[in-house]
Amino acid sequence: MPLVKKHRMSERKLAANRLNGPHSRGAVTPEGKARAAAASLRHGYYSKSAEVALTALGEDPAEFKRRLESLIDFYAPANALEMGLVMQLARALWRMERFNRVAESLAVNHLEKMQEAKKQVAVLTRQPFFVKLEHLTELCDATCLDQGVIVGPTEMNLFEIACHDVPEKTAKEILRLLLRLRKPGTTADLGPEVELLVDDEEVPVAEGEEREAARRGLLGILSPEINSLKEHIMRLVEEPDQAQAQFDRDKMLADAQPKAALMNQGEESSLRQVLRITKLLMNIKRLARPQEKIENAECSQDVIENKGSQNGQNTACQDVHENK
């Protein structure tokens, strides 16, 4: 996959480009030329222009140069062969770090996606409880907060929405109390919810203090239901403990291992290359040392012989002088 993203062009734009293409002189600025050179770059491992490759990959050419100079100072290459090996060693070390960085980036990216998906699932899981809490709260506000409330079709509609998944016994008790707070008369205009009552039980309309008692009784049923829902939602919202969070992260990372395995193989391959090059360099250096000793020994012998010859000449000259 090219590192430079290609944008999809319309047919009109493509035709215009074809028409104007012969008149174009290409990139003019250094930046434009660098982008054009990196347009089809895939990995940059074997690019002739290391600086362009590293820049396209989001890496620092100056840092690579500093590390290369450090290796040159350490190994002190004496010839082109050793210099080439040091260059290969620098690139292998750089690639090894790149593979490690890419593997970590893959893991982090996968972890972020999985955590985001987990949050979305958690939101969907909590959604029904939020909806139920909202409906029960609306029913409570409409029937329990006003002491002079009179239950009509609107309140009965709220009851139908809020209590469709409430336990049947609780729903019947709420319905009885709501019917006690209705207008005097029949229940025919309140909707089909009245059919929940067993044996067509007739619920009398509360009068005087009985209405206040019915309202308090209704509040006594709805408030615990609302508080229980709030506590349940809070338990779902709360972050898991550290141990559970670490377990979830480990599981998510385990799911990402198949993709990271390729990067690990590349890192191990680079490490093996580093070891081979290092061993080869050390062997070359070790073989070069005896040769240096031989050359140094030959030079020393020549110096000694030259000194001996010079001493002999000096002695001969001394003898001639004495004879004179």
For residue range 122-149, list pLDDT tens digits in order.
777 778 888 888 888 998 998 888 878 8
From residue 291, how far is each of 154, 286, 287 by CA, in Å?
105, 9, 7
Question: Does residue 214 contact residue 206 with C-beta atoms inside 8 Å?
Answer: yes
Contacts of 183 (CB under 8 A, 6+ apart): 150, 152, 205
Q: What is the mean pLDDT of residues 275-284?
A: 90
pTM above 0.85, yes or no: no
Return the structure tokens found at 115: 């955590």
For residue range 6-41, list pLDDT tens digits in order.
556 778 877 877 777 676 666 667 766 665 555 544
* Rounded Cα–Cα distance for residues 258 and 93 (Å): 24
Q: What is the mean pLDDT of residues 201-208?
A: 80
Query: Which pLDDT score is estimated for 217?
Result: 92
- Which of 5-19, 65-79, 143-157, 238-252 has the weakest average pLDDT? 238-252
Which residue ranges make up each domain of the chain?
1-54, 146-238
Bigger pLDDT: 295 vs 206: 206
Query: Which pLDDT score is estimated for 12?
Result: 81
